[in-house]
Amino acid sequence: MAKKRKANKKDNKAEKKGQKLRKSKKAVRSTGLDDKYAYGSFDFDEYGKEAFSRDGYEYRGHDTGDSRRDKKLDLKRDRMRREADTSRITPRNRTRLVVGFGFILFLMALLIFRMGYWQIVRADELRTMAASMQKVDTEIDPERGTIYDSKMNVLAEAVTEYELYGYTQYLYKDTDISLREKLATVRKLASITGLDEGTIRQKLSEEGDNLVLLADGLTRDQVEKAEEAFGSLVSVKTKAARYYPNDAFAAQVLGGVSADNVGRSGLEYEYNSVLAGVKGRTVRTTDRDGNTVSGSRTKYYEPKDGNSIVTTIDSVIQSFVESALETGMKKTGASQITCIVTNPKTGDILAMATTPEYDPNNSSEPYSKKEKEKFKKMTPEEQTEYLSRMWTIDAVSTIYEPGSTFKLITAAAALESASANSKSRYYCNGSIHVGNYNLRCLGVHGKQSLKEAVGNSCNPALAQVALDTGADDLYNCIDMFGFNDKTGIDLPGETNSIVKSPEGMGDVDLATTGYGQGIAVTPIQILCAVNSFGNDGVLMKPKLVKRIIDSEGKTVRTIEDTEVRRVVSSETAEKMRDIMEYYVADSGSGDQAYVPGYRVGGKTGTANLVEGGRYAKNATNTSFVAMAPMDDPQISMIVIVYRPTKVQYGNFTAGPIVKEIMEKSLQYLGVERQYTKSEAKEVKKSQVEVPDVTGIDSSDAIKKLERLELNYKISPEPEDGKTENFVVLDQNPKEGTKVDKGSVVYIYSE
């Protein structure tokens, strides 16, 4: 609720700023004043200050990495060989070197002589020429397109900022300007710009350039007043800026632009050519003071505004996600949490977020107060590292060891290749012996079906499933699910996974792959693969943009849903949905994501991080991939909690986050709760009927409510926290309403 209020306030603020500036920009356009107001761009964006590795990914998890190391070694050997070749100096190439070097020296001497000639000998002549007349070629910025959410709420928009310059010689410095005139000028400029008189006086009397910047960040109104008062003695410049009205909302996905308004990360980068538009130009001839020479022609080429993009992001679900992640950070003590929410049937990304988050209007520091304090105490190196992590779109740019969530893929491969069916049984006595290794389980699970094995997240059973399926079939299925390809999502920086190939895959590799160890994938890959179970076995390509519209709002292009391929049969998909639902509802392993009335399914994973080439003892990343309702999936998600410190295991770190997002989103999407008989009983047990407490003394009313395990709130809230007794005039909810125990009943004193 508080978050929502905050968001509204932000909206209003943004709206005011946006509207004002948008309006004024339009006004400039229509009066044809563009050439005067248009100017190049200025450095206003903090973004540009930090190096940002877009393609850099961070690998967290168990690294096999042999092929990469080999490639590196090859490159190194190559380079050494080349160096060895060139360092051998024979008499023949010595002559060549001497001749070559001599020629370069000669060229440089010639160049220096020529520069000297223009700069010293003919300098005066050139200066006079330049002063009397110059061609001015001014670029006119087009308006960068808007980024909308799926309901046409603005997520990023173009704004124009105004700067006021003054010709100090004619405004102030000339000896024939009287003191009274000077005072009047200072006073007027101060009142227009809102700066104090001292500042204005100092700027006007500064030594050096005639043309100085008096004030920036002004409105169109302000600069117009200045022009009315001072005519051509002042000059106005505009710069196109980018404004993100919701602060830190969906920051990584939106990305940001550089100082000259070019997209440099996220959707701003991916869709730069769509959003940017085409620059216009005016070419005119002016004298030394910048006045257009009479009789000369001004050529004007109109800019073409950028198109806008309509994303698949649903701001309501995105805000559910962001608030759940914030709570999750506090409860788990994690270093980072990432979440993607999709529609499994279309591949639409409904929400995508990573905390800690940042405000793209000021991307050089984290957004939250707590993280900001942490950030300030870091060394410059740590800050750089922190920022690049913060800007990274973790959902597509990071690979991690999926651990047990991958058991779903193994189970599907087994069902699809018929190496397992509903009659298959697996036995777990706490470990399984494969090759020379003893692969251990977290428990002793005894005899289990495939469903129970996934439900218990039993490593030996899934190792057996993988061995029964065989390297070729398992690998083929992994390939079909898209783990060897990028998903092709419309975001920059999607990285490659690490999957072992079946050639030379030994039994140990096969068994451990079966329970998700020794491979590394991106969060979006796992989610898309699991989504196919919710889409009748068909893999969909994920997407973030569904429509491109022009500046008039007309649709230029519609981006259709894209089927990649059928991965498993309809029957296997159904069986997998059943296994996922069993995991959350019945196995006890995923119960933290259970929402009464909604058929939630899922699977957790916990993987130890690799530090210094070994599995770290207490550093894990934990995850939960989930979907609901399992009879007709509307929504799916993955939540990854990195380095939780307060609780461990996906069920307890990510489970509550999944539950919160799932429950709110399904309600918001209008999915009705359907209670099972036992759920209905539970719900009934936990509910009470609100009694009538009106017309009685407040202390009696409170006693009545407390007996029924109901909370109360007095309205209006007593100022000092203490209340005199009063007669209850009204109540909310009304008598007879069924509510959960612990609900709040408002009692009104007036």
Instruction: Report d(CA 475, CA 502) in Å as an integer.
Output: 6
Q: Which of 186, 441, 662, 705: binder of Zn ion (CB under 5 A)?
A: 441
Residue 538 phi, psi (nearest 5): -105, 130
Task: Please give the size of the binding site for Zn ion, defined by CB under 5 A.
Answer: 4
Q: Which stretch binds Zn ion (CB under 5 A): 73-81, 199-207, 425-433, 632-640?
A: 425-433
- Give the three-class secondary structure for 165: strand
What is the smallest separation between the CB atom of 405 and Zn ion, expressed in angstroms?
A: 17
- Cα distances (Å, whole numbers) of residue 174 to 169, 449, 464, 716: 5, 94, 92, 66
Burial bucket for residue 219 (CB in 10 Å: 0-12, 13-18, 19+): middle
> Of the two residues 71 and 447, which places its CB atom closer to Zn ion in the complex?
447
500 near Zn ion, rule: CB under 5 A:
no
Rule CB under 5 A: which of 292-351 touch Zn ion?
none
What is the smallest separation between the CB atom of 463 and Zn ion, expressed in angstroms?
A: 10
451 near Zn ion, rule: CB under 5 A:
no
Work out whether the CA dihedral 722, 728, 729, 734 comes out positive or negative: positive
> Of the two residues 529 and 607, which places its CB atom closer to Zn ion in the complex?
607
What is the smallest separation between the CB atom of 257 and Zn ion, expressed in angstroms?
A: 52
What is the smallest separation between the CB atom of 586 and Zn ion, expressed in angstroms?
A: 17
Tell which residue, 470, 111, 423, 47, has the closest CA to residue 244.
47
Instruction: Report d(CA 509, CA 518) in Å as an integer.
Output: 8
Q: How many residues does the chain have?
A: 750
458 near Zn ion, rule: CB under 5 A:
yes
Token pair listed for 387? 């920022």
> Of the two residues 430 and 691, which places its CB atom closer to Zn ion in the complex?
430
450 near Zn ion, rule: CB under 5 A:
no
The full DSSP string for 39-82 is -------GGGGS---SS---EES----HHHHHHHHHHHHHHHHH
Tell which residue, 403, 537, 521, 416, has the closest CA to residue 472.
416
> Of the two residues 214 and 414, which places its CB atom closer to Zn ion in the complex?
414
Instruction: Report d(CA 70, CA 649) in Å as an integer.
Output: 35
Instruction: Report d(CA 593, CA 254) in Å as an integer.
Output: 29
Q: Which stretch binds Zn ion (CB under 5 A): 390-398, 424-432, 668-676, 737-745?
A: 424-432
Residues 6+ apart with CB under 8 A from 19: none
Q: Which of 60, 242, 284, 445: binder of Zn ion (CB under 5 A)?
A: 445
> Of the two residues 79 and 440, which places its CB atom closer to Zn ion in the complex?
440
> Of the two residues 335 and 431, which places its CB atom closer to Zn ion in the complex?
431
What is the smallest separation between the CB atom of 447 and Zn ion, expressed in angstroms?
A: 11
Instruction: Report d(CA 434, CA 511) in Å as an integer.
Output: 8
- Say if CB 514 and CB 467 are below 8 A apart: yes
> Of the two residues 441 and 610, which places its CB atom closer to Zn ion in the complex?
441
> Of the two residues 407 and 643, which places its CB atom closer to Zn ion in the complex?
407
Q: Which stretch binds Zn ion (CB under 5 A): 251-259, 385-393, 436-444, 639-647?
A: 436-444
Instruction: Report d(CA 322, CA 543) in Å as an integer.
Output: 20
Q: Which stretch binds Zn ion (CB under 5 A): 355-363, 422-430, 518-526, 723-731?
A: 422-430
> Of the two residues 458 and 474, which places its CB atom closer to Zn ion in the complex?
458
428 near Zn ion, rule: CB under 5 A:
yes
Helix axes 459-469, 507-514, angle to 10 degrees: 120
Q: Which stretch binds Zn ion (CB under 5 A): 10-18, 445-453, 577-585, 629-637?
A: 445-453
> Of the two residues 316 and 454, which places its CB atom closer to Zn ion in the complex?
454
Instruction: Report d(CA 658, CA 461) in Å as an integer.
Output: 27
What is the smallest separation between the CB atom of 587 and Zn ion, expressed in angstroms?
A: 12
463 near Zn ion, rule: CB under 5 A:
no
What is the smallest separation between the CB atom of 614 and Zn ion, expressed in angstroms?
A: 24
Q: Could you report how far apart the first and last alpha carbons of the chain are, in Å?
A: 25
State the Cα angle at 538 between 533 and 544, rounded to 5°: 95
Q: Which stretch binds Zn ion (CB under 5 A): 33-41, 150-158, 444-452, 586-594?
A: 444-452
> Of the two residues 159 and 458, which places its CB atom closer to Zn ion in the complex?
458
What is the smallest separation between the CB atom of 465 and Zn ion, expressed in angstroms?
A: 12
Q: Which stretch binds Zn ion (CB under 5 A): 33-41, 59-67, 452-460, 620-628?
A: 452-460
> Of the two residues 241 and 454, which places its CB atom closer to Zn ion in the complex?
454
Q: Which stretch binds Zn ion (CB under 5 A): 223-231, 308-316, 438-446, 697-705?
A: 438-446
Radius of gyration of the chain (CA): 33
- Give the three-class secondary structure for 358: strand
Residue 299's beta-bridge partner residues? 283
What is the smallest separation between the CB atom of 604 and Zn ion, expressed in angstroms?
A: 15
What is the smallest separation between the CB atom of 429 and Zn ion, expressed in angstroms?
A: 8
Rule CB under 5 A: which of 35-54 touch Zn ion?
none
> Of the two residues 100 and 443, which places its CB atom closer to Zn ion in the complex?
443
Instruction: Report d(CA 685, CA 52) in Å as an integer.
Output: 55
Q: Which positions lie near Zn ion, rule CB under 5 A?
A: 428, 441, 445, 458
